[in-house]
Amino acid sequence: MQFDRNDENYVYDLVGKNIRKYRKLKGWTQAELAEKSTYSKQFISNIENNVHQTFSLGTLWHLSLVLDVELYKLCMEEETSKV
């Protein structure tokens, strides 16, 4: 499902995609990220797959530390080339 930038769900979708990206760059499964972060695999799956759920700034901070990624990078939109 695509969200408009004006929809607050947009940021959750964006963050979920970035968490998936950085997790995969580490070569980790969802289960491995869950274990390292002490969250459940289902919670990680829900974040990455845009199952409507909110999560706290503290959760985002914790995941950024576990993934060794600066917090702001989890909130960044991918740049698209303008051709």
32: CATH: 1.10.260.40
4 part of a folded domain: no
Residue pair 44/1 in contact (Cβ under 8 Å)? The answer is no
* pTM for the structure as a whole: 0.87
Domain range enclosing 29: 9-71
The full DSSP string for the chain is ----TTSTHHHHHHHHHHHHHHHHHHT--HHHHHHHHTS-HHHHHHHHTT-S----HHHHHHHHHHHT--GGGGGPPPP----
26 part of a folded domain: yes
45 part of a folded domain: yes
Give per-residue pLDDT as tens, 21-70: 999 999 999 999 999 999 999 999 999 998 867 889 999 999 999 999 99
- The number of distinct structural domains making up the chain is 1
Tokens describing residue 69: 């990624």
